Every structure is written in structure tokens, then in C-alpha cells.
Structure 1
């Protein structure tokens, strides 16, 4: 994974090589500081900061120019591990490590600017963000204020629906969240590790061994989860801990004399590694995993060889503009992403070159102003002499202000949307209302083809679009061996027993099926989950789930199994044929056991241009933001498999697109899609009657006497 990245900033004045003593006990010896230990920030570390923040900003503004700019986050994690470990072990050696004071110093350094940008992001969201993104943006601001944004993003990426969400305005705070969690955990680990060292009268080697073990376990977790759970690997703190650990190891290692030629070689190789990572890694690079070892090791090596340029050309890193960027990297990092996210909504179009350049200039200007009037006064002014308890209380108060500013509007919007949608549901379910699927399936509704609906009258409201699921995913399972079924519909002893299985596109049908199941006397067991749909897929990671599905679907006396799955628009004809064959092979096992299989053909997918149009348009007719079906000439694998097994499918695609292949985004004031391929629960409700008719027809045909 490498699609998004952001750069945390790390705070205190840098020092030379850290002392390696681990306690104030007289039995613990202290290593001397590195001879060239400056009291000012180390110029080499400032240069690394400048490189990292420039890489990320350029990556976000011009992603094709520097495809691996996301590695900047790894650079900063290493720097943080080095600086914070050095500070902690110095304080521990002096017997002055106080957790409250340490955390208060972190709060003074990071929170004022961070909370200011979050407040500004809230104002920008409420003023300019598309209605469909407002609640999502506010949610990310709340998560960032609480410094859990990395876990919010990890959960969204695991959530099949959340994975399709547009990047939120505070997404870049995920790395700050990892950073803050590191600040909480690492002092506790240092205390624990050094306390054990004192008892055994062992110093540096014990601490170093502990850090190496922790880092090694974290790296192993990273290597495994990058392929098995890539979103978790990218955002989760335990998976990223080894990157801090590499910096910590450098801080603990004793000072070594390095020959000039060796230092030059290390400098050249390390910077080459960083530049290679930034320009040749891309979104397809499995990350962090093995790939992250290159930028992490390169950064650790550059810190380890010390601040003095090993040769004349290397002294360019001391150039004043580079040092200034490094010094202001925190503010640049904070401001760049909200401006990038909100600017297209303000100009109502994609940004041109001059506008992107203007955004970079504005980012730098806001960073400089923030440092001058917010960061430095808090960091070095009267508050620097305040008691830790006072600082932490003020920090908590500031967080409460931001939470209220972002959270209360989100609650109001969500409550209003839910009430509006509930009021409109009865109208949507009425086939004579020309709302939702009725607009295309009821011929009487053609006379209302040219009627328009204001954006503020849409159902669901654009502000609640991402939340319009109506419990469709209550039974939804992530990748795991067994899907535990849920029951919807009739509980009558004579109910027709039906199973519904598939991925998120099967889950989208649940709101509509709930509406009709009792009336049709159907008892529906729902087997829906992400990945590994019911087929003869040879993927070994799916074998356990396939076996479990076979066991449940074939042994529960079902009259029929409804199956559906995402018809991916970019799949080639060959891939479609292969998937169809895999579907058919599995379906035959049910058919041979006397169980009917009823495929439900999938809805079309939405181009990004239509989704963007939906978010920015003020009035909608049937043609507004519509698109042409992109799968013309490429059959749904479900359709191919239906022919292969001689089954009969349910085809509701005429509810989405008219006879010319034009697919509206809004039908009768009902928004059809919540993202690029999932329908809204409201539209699912409007499909209910038609879905029931078609399934009943197929069921009846199977029980009719054959001639």
C-alpha cells in the first residue's frame, strides 16, 4: 500500500549522539556524548525533515512526479525514535524522567498548531465541502483530535464500504496519531526496560537488546501483514513500531569512530536509497513490509554517521532554505493536505498548474505564520514554565473545543438525515410514486422524466449518503474461515427457506429483501462477507470459507440459494469466463442436491466523473450526472455461469439503466449509488417489490409440473 502518506514532526532540540546510560543508579556507567554535540538542531536531521516533507507535499500535489513520496513518513518515524529515545534515556540517567512533564512537553510542542489546523479544517468543511462528504470529513477531524485517526482509517479500509470513501480532510493526521501513541507507549517501555537493567546492574546492552527484540517482532509483523492485511499494516501502530525502533537503536549505540571514506560511502548510499524510494516506489509497491526497510535503514544510517558533511558537496544540506523548510516542516505538513482536499470544491473544478503552485506557496506561508505566532510562543513563552498539570489541562480543553466544533454539526446532520430518510421510505416503497426504481420500471413514470429535484430534497440526503445502509452490513463478515448467517424474514414453520450469499453487493439487497420477506413467507439466511464468494476459486486462502459455505448451504434444506457478486468493470473477458466457470462448478453441487440456484445479476459501476457530478450539482433530472454502461459487450460472470448450469437469473439492470444504456445517478429524487458501485439502502428499498416478483416467478417455475 502506498496511496496516501503524511509526515509527523518531531519536536525537541536535537543533540549529538545520545548517552547510553539507563538509570541514575551509581552502578550504571554512562557513555560520553558524541564530541560534536550541538545544542542547536542538527543540520543533517533538518535536511532529512526538509526532504521528507517536500516528498510528501509533491506526492500529494503531483502524484505522478514523485510516486513514492509517501516514504517521508518512514523518515520521520526514524528521526522520532532517535530523538525521543535519546531524550528519555538522558532523563532516566539523570533520575529526572517524569511522565507528566514529558507528555506536557509533547503537548506544548504539537497540539497548538495541530488543533488550530483542525479548527480551520472544520470551518473549511462546513463552508465548502460537498454535502456528500461533510459528515465523513467531520468524522476524520474527530478521530484526528483524539489521535486515533490511524485506527479509523484502518477500520475504514477493512470495511468494504469505507474503503471506497474519498480521502477525508484530516487523513494526514494518521501519522501524527501513530506518533502520539508512540509518545505514550515508549516512555513506559523505557521505564520498564531500564528498571530491569538496574536490578541486574546491566546498562546499555540490556536496553539495546530490548529495543532490538521489540523492533524485530514489529518488523516481522510488518512483513506478514503487508501481504495478509495491507491496510492494517500501513496504519497500525504496532506494525510501524520497528521504524521508531531503528532510530532508537542508533540513539543507544555507543559512539564509533568512522573513517572519512566510510562515512562518505554511507552518506552516498543512504541518500541514493532515499531518492530511489521516493521516485521509484509507487502505489503498487507492497508497503511498508520489505520495501520500507530501504528508507528506514537509509535514514538511520545518515543519523548514525553524524551531522558533519563527509565531503564538500554534502554541505549543501546546510543551505539556509533547506534548513528553513526542515524547521517549518511541521506546519507545512499540517496545512498542505486540507488545502489540497478543499481547493477543488472551492474552484468547482480540477486544479491547474498555477493553482497547485499557489497551494504550495499558501501552505508554506501558513506554516511560517503558525510557527511565528502559535508554535513558538507556546513552546518558548510563559506556558513553557507552567506546571505539567496545567499544560495537560489546557491541552485537554483545546481538544474539547475542536471535538465540539466538529462533532456537534456531525450529530445534527446525521440526526436530520435519518429522520428525513425514514419519512420518505413509505413513499419510496409505493410502486406508484415514481421514486427510485419505479422511475424506470413503471411505464407510467415516463411522463415525469423531465421533472427535477433540488439537491436539498434528495433521498437520502447527500450529507447522509455514505451512511445510507439501513443495517445492510449487520451480518457482513470480513475475511475469515466461516460466515455466521443471520436470519431475516418469516419465522413461520411453513416458510420457504432461502439462502442469500455473496459479497457486499449481496448485502446491498438486504434492505429490500427485508421489506418483502415476511409478506412472501420467506425465511432468508444471509451468508455475506468480504472476499471468497461462493465459487470453486482455487485460492488457498479461500478454501476454509468455501468448505464452510458448502457445508451450510447444502445441509440446511434450502429451497433456493440467491447468489450475487460485484461485476468488476475492469475485468477482462478471459477473467470473466474464468470466474463464471468457478461459479458454475460450485453451483452444480447445490443443483445436484436438489437446491435451486438463482443468480441476481449485478448493477453497473459508476465512473468517477458521475460521482463527482453528484457531489457538486444543485438540481437533478433523470439525465443529470448520468453515464453510459461501461460493461457493454462484457457479460457479468454470473450471467455466463447461469447459462453454463441451465439456471434462470434475476435481471434487474433495467432498474438502473434505460433501453439506451443511460444510467441515471438520481431516479425520482432517490440517489441510486452511495459510491462507485454500491447502491443506497433507499434505492434497495425501492427495488423490493420487483426483486420479490422475479424471485417468486423463478421459484414458482421450479415447482411447476414439467410437460
Structure 2
């Protein structure tokens, strides 16, 4: 019995080892060199972005390599008849998750200890998404979410590519099995698989090209858009061996590496990516793997150089560790890193990667854990992931709850003009003496831990796509109430929290039409045509007494563009006034300096001038003001709530943070602005005996 049991254990260990690693031989030197290039490109891009502006293509190189190695492994296992999904996924978990979870735990500690308060919740949310391997979808959603798109890069942002890979590892073996189930012979099974992979690769490439121009941020992170890059590698793995003459191999080798270097140094943030541009580095990587080991000449043989091979061997750990250090180091030092500090950061990254490989990755990958049943490994993996989620998620929930409670307690006080908080600090003359009273960062409203989330329902009916707007209702339900339509983009939405405070008592019934772009004007853009037609119909036919309109006054717009926008606004406003509807434009708040936004997250005490910026640099002529002059309407101008007569614009006014990003005000500031907005609109409504021109 004992002997039989021992034999059974040995058989099981052999079976596990057969599926534990992609290959049983030493990694190919040329593939390790590609890994070394890929990780070096990414790290250098993140540490010195101006030196290698296209270094992000390193991720695409990794995707092609993964497609090649994993497809080769799966097909070999399938043809031998011992492809077991549980064993495959357990092997992937052993290979990737220990190091990844270790870095996420370290990132959690670094976040809690050193991250700026305004970024802690965002960083922890990123860690949770990365632990669950959905970070790419979190970032894709944030990229589509207009309000989150400008947030600072989170500490686990680089896990988006690992999330894409993990999703690939789940789906790909299922596709291999599906394509080869009916025909298990090597010849026809491979043909069926090649046909399926060709269809997926071509379809994904077309999707990539289309979405890169239609929704570039989404295209960058979404798994289906990236699947073609794995497909290129997978197809190389399935192509029969081809004997290529040495001269041709040499030419392909030179061309492939030249294409990779060109992509890394010629591409930049303005390059539409992935799309057409990604075809170059992806094809180059695939060709370099297709020709096999390097041709026998001196330059090619350098890719076997030990430092390059070491870099390839440790590329996974280097990729994991570098980004948290890049993100957190400036917060620890309180300043941007100098050259020698960046060099030290890169060295530290390599040391941590080497230690992780020696004491975490290799022991768990090749040690006794390799003999455990796949079921046990997967269960242990799930437990470890849940522990990391708890380590990051519980502090995030605690901070969010505390910040929300603090903000809610202060809401009534902020809206009281006598409190000298928020807009009151500039609009209430009796509050002038309160400007120099210091407010600790811990007492700010909203709390910095919830700054990015301080919207208070402003975007409950906000529409991101250029589709027809479905209005939300706030204020009075009295049939005799003054009927007002509020329309515009996200800047109009930010007025909602304050208007909600005062609308019912003022006897206003407000329908809110807010969405991204395509604001109410005679905009000729075809993508706005459907929304403009629907909005025009609703605003003119629903019996409104007044239309309140505001829109983002974009800093980068030229004077010519501002004038064109003004003319388009004025054309719509004249039509409304001809039908007896009053138009009340609300002039927009200024944009702010990035340095001022960064200052808020790293300062411990605030007075009026702390982190302030100059109005002359960020307050531009508003197209709404130009349109008001042209069409003969009177605007609401509350820009005095944002900057004093000397042109000093505070980031924190009376303990209230004014901006949640580079141009949106916080809901807390909106609450403080509400009494003044009420007075201004009421005065205009009362002063208009007739709304005809």
C-alpha cells in the first residue's frame, strides 16, 4: 500500500510538472532579450518620459511574447492529450500571483504611509482592482468617465497590462480546446485553431483601429482591443518551422530591432495608439521570434550578453516594482526626483526584483508547492487575493465613510453666508478678516481623502455619450412653480448640488439637461446633431419660463474659437427669446494651475493665499459673455467668488476646497455658492417684465 501510494504521488508530481511551465528547456536567449528590451523601454519611459517617449510599446512586446509562449504550451499539451485547465491555471497562478500580490501589499503600505491624502482612496481602489485583475477595465471606465479622466495615475496603474494578460490566460485555453475538440489530430486540429486565431486576430485589429480614433483611452486598456497582439504571437507559435537563409535571417533581425527602436523613440503621446501604430512593434516582435535564435554575427550575438539575459530573467519583477516607486518617491521626498535619485530608484527596482525572484517567485514556482493539487493552489490563491483586497479595501471604505460624514456635517454651515466658508469668503464683505485664519488640512471640506468624489449627486443624470439628454427634476413640484431648465456640460452639473439646496424654497421647478459636450448651441458638428435637435425641441416646447445655461470655458481655445462658440450660443438664445423664454447664462469658473492642484494635496495648513494662482493666467474671455453681449441678455457673473479684485484665486476658501480637479468645482463649494446664485437668478427673473427681445 505504501509503495502504491508513493508511486501515485510520483505520478501526480510528474503530471503537475508537465503542465507547470511553458517549456521544459532553458528560455530562448532571443526571447529573453526581447523581454529585457520591453521592460527597459517601459521603465525608462516612466522614469525619464522625455528621453524615450514611445517606451510604452514595451507592453505590446510583452503581449506578443505571451501569445507565442502560452499558445505553444497549450497546443503541445493538447496534442499530447494532457491539457488540464485546472493544472494550467494553477501553474499560471504559481508563476504570476505571489510576486504580484507581494508588490500590491507593499503598495498598500506605501499608500497608507506616504501617499497624499487626496490620492489615498484612489490608490487603494486601484490596488483592489489590480488584485482582482480588472484594473484595465477600471482604467477604461475612468477614461470614459469625464470626471475621473484627469485623476492622477494610481499606484497600481501598471497592473492594467497584467489584468489583460490574466484575462487572456483564462480565455485562451478555452479557445484552444474549442477549436480542437472535434478534430484531435495534430494536422487538422492545428488548422482549425489557426483559422479561429486568424479570425480573432483580424477582428481585434479592426476593432483596435476603429476604437483608437473613436475612443482612444478605452482602446488602450480594453482586452478585446488588445487581443490581436497576443494573436500575432500565437500565430507564430503555430506556423510550421521554416528554414530561412542566414542572410535573410540577418536582414529580418536587423529590420525587426530597428523597428522596435524606432517605435520606442519616434512614437509619443500624440501617436494614435494602439491602432495602426502598434502594428509596427507587434509585427517586429513576431518576426524576431519567427526567425528563431539570433543570426551568427557579432551584433546579434550581443543579445546573449549576461546583463541582457539577467534583465530578461527579472523583467517581471522589475515591471511590478518600478511603478509604485515612481509614484510614491516624490511624495516621500516632497519634491520631484533629481537625476541621481532617479538612477537610485532604478537600482532599487532591480534589487527588489532580484530579491523577489530569489525568495518568492522561484521557491513557489519550482518548490514543494508545485506538487500540490491544482484545486488547492487555486483555493490558496483566492484566499491570498481576498486578503490583499481586504488590506486595501477596508482602509478605503473607512476613509470614504469618514470623509462623507465630515462633509455632510459641514454642509449646512458651508451654505450659511455668516460662516465665512467657501464662496462666502469673497462674496460676503464681512468675511474679509477671515481670509488669513489658517485651516489645518485635516479640517478641510471636503476631506482630502474624498476630494475626487465630492460631487453630491451632481452627475446622477449626466450623459457621457453624444446622445439625447434625459432630464432629471429638482426643486418644487408645485404646478404654479417657476419652471426652469438647467442645461450645459459637466460645469452645469456642478451647479446642481447648490441649486438643489435652494430651488424648492425659491419656488423653482428645475429640469436638468446635462451631458458631456454638445452643449445647447448651433454647433455644426455632425456627432452633436441628434442631441442638439432633441435638446432644442425639449427646451422650447416644455413650457419653461427660463433656461439657465453654462459651459466649460476651455483655456486652450483660441480667440477665434471663442467667438465662433459665442455666435452659436447667441443663435440658439435668440430663438428661445423669440418664443418668450428668458435665457440666463452663468459665466464659468476659471481653470486652475496643475501646480496649485498638486500643492493642495501636499500642504498641511491653508489660508486664502495658500496654493493660490493668478487670475490673469487662467481666466479667459468667456464665450457665454460674448454671446450675452451679442444677443442682449444679462449673464450671471459670480467669478468674484473665485478670485479677488487683485486677481488672487484661492484653492481653499474659508476651509472649503474650491476645485476637485483642474476645472470642476467641488460640490461643497457649490453648496456655498447657492445663496448667491439664488439671488442673482431671482433678480433677473424679477427684472424681466417681458422676455421678448
Question: How high is the TM-score relative to the length of structure 1?
Answer: 0.93
Per-residue CA shift, 1:426-459, capped at 9, x if unaligned?
Answer: 1111111101111110000012121111111111
Per-residue CA shift, 1:55-87, capped at 9, x if unaligned?
Answer: 000000010000000011110100000011101
**Which residues of 2 match residues 503-514 of structure 1 at below 5 A?**
503-514=489-500
Per-residue CA shift, 1:583-630, capped at 9, x if unaligned?
Answer: 222322222322222111111111011111111111111111111114
Quote the Cα distance in structure 2 between the aligned partners of 1:513 and 1:569. Answer: 26
- The alignment partner of 1:635 has SS state of coil
- The alignment partner of 2:295 has SS state of coil
**Which residues of 2 match residues 125-136 of structure 1 at below 5 A?**
125-136=111-122
1:137, CA displacement in angstroms? Answer: 0.4
Quote the Cα distance in structure 2 between the aligned partners of 1:706 and 1:589. Answer: 10
1:242, CA displacement in angstroms? Answer: 0.5
> Which segments of 5 or more consecutive residues in structure 1 lack a partner in the other structure?
1-10, 16-37
Residue number in structure 1 paired with 2:465: 479
Q: Does 1:381 align with 2:367?
A: yes
- The alignment partner of 2:573 has SS state of helix
Per mean C-alpha deviation after superposition, the further-off stretch among 551-560 and 332-341 is: 551-560
Residue number in structure 1 paired with 2:236: 250
1:310, CA displacement in angstroms? Answer: 4.9
| 2:527 alignment partner, one of 528, 538, 541 | 541
Q: Does 1:110 align with 2:96?
A: yes
| 1:368 alignment partner, one of 354, 378, 381 | 354
| 1:502 alignment partner, one of 445, 466, 488 | 488
Distance 1:519 1:321, change over 3 A: same
Quote the Cα distance in structure 1 between the aligned partners of 2:565 and 2:251. Answer: 52
Residue number in structure 2 paired with 1:176: 162
| 2:673 alignment partner, one of 660, 678, 687 | 687
1:12, CA displacement in angstroms? Answer: 7.5
- The alignment partner of 1:60 has SS state of helix
C-alpha contact (below 8 Å) 1:132/1:466 kept by paired residues: yes
Q: Does 1:57 align with 2:43?
A: yes
Quote the Cα distance in structure 1 between the aligned partners of 2:223 and 2:692. Answer: 63
Residue number in structure 2 paired with 1:25: none
Quote the Cα distance in structure 2 between the aligned partners of 1:706 and 1:216. Answer: 59
Give structure 1 regions of 4+ aligned residues with deviation exceeding 6 angstroms: none
Q: Does 1:74 align with 2:63?
A: no
Per mean C-alpha deviation after superposition, the further-off stretch among 629-638 and 257-266 is: 629-638
Quote the Cα distance in structure 1 between the aligned partners of 2:203 and 2:619. Answer: 50
Residue number in structure 2 paired with 1:439: 425
Q: Does 1:315 align with 2:301?
A: yes
| 1:124 alignment partner, one of 86, 98, 110 | 110
| 1:609 alignment partner, one of 588, 592, 595 | 595
Distance 1:43 1:12, change over 3 A: farther
Quote the Cα distance in structure 2 between the aligned partners of 1:688 and 1:329. Answer: 54
**Which residues of 2 match residues 609-628 of structure 1 at below 5 A?**
609-628=595-614
Per-residue CA shift, 1:272-302, capped at 9, x if unaligned?
Answer: 1111110010001111111111111111111
Count matched residues.
Answer: 675
C-alpha contact (below 8 Å) 1:490/1:522 kept by paired residues: yes
> Which segments of 5 or more consecutive residues in structure 2 lack a partner in the other structure?
1-18
- The alignment partner of 1:323 has SS state of helix
C-alpha contact (below 8 Å) 1:569/1:631 kept by paired residues: no
1:632, CA displacement in angstroms? Answer: 6.7
| 1:204 alignment partner, one of 182, 186, 190 | 190
C-alpha contact (below 8 Å) 1:573/1:634 kept by paired residues: no
Quote the Cα distance in structure 2 between the aligned partners of 1:537 and 1:247. Answer: 46
C-alpha contact (below 8 Å) 1:13/1:39 kept by paired residues: no
Distance 1:87 1:199, change over 3 A: closer
C-alpha contact (below 8 Å) 1:112/1:375 kept by paired residues: yes
Q: Does 1:345 align with 2:331?
A: yes
Residue number in structure 1 paired with 2:176: 190
Q: Does 1:324 align with 2:310?
A: yes
Residue number in structure 2 paired with 1:18: none
1:14, CA displacement in angstroms? Answer: 6.0
| Aligned-CA RMSD value | 1.7
| 2:518 alignment partner, one of 532, 536, 540 | 532
Quote the Cα distance in structure 2 between the aligned partners of 1:581 and 1:359. Answer: 53
Residue number in structure 2 paired with 1:226: 212
1:703, CA displacement in angstroms? Answer: 2.5
Quote the Cα distance in structure 1 between the aligned partners of 2:428 and 2:224. Answer: 55
Distance 1:380 1:71, change over 3 A: same
C-alpha contact (below 8 Å) 2:581/2:691 kept by paired residues: no
C-alpha contact (below 8 Å) 1:340/1:359 kept by paired residues: yes
Residue number in structure 1 paired with 2:383: 397
| 1:145 alignment partner, one of 120, 127, 131 | 131
Question: How high is the TM-score relative to the length of structure 2?
Answer: 0.95
Per-residue CA shift, 1:549-595, capped at 9, x if unaligned?
Answer: 11211221111111111111122212211221222223222223222
- The alignment partner of 1:64 has SS state of coil
Residue number in structure 1 paired with 2:555: 569
Residue number in structure 2 paired with 1:336: 322
C-alpha contact (below 8 Å) 1:267/1:310 kept by paired residues: no
Residue number in structure 1 paired with 2:684: 698
| 1:163 alignment partner, one of 149, 164, 182 | 149
C-alpha contact (below 8 Å) 2:90/2:377 kept by paired residues: yes
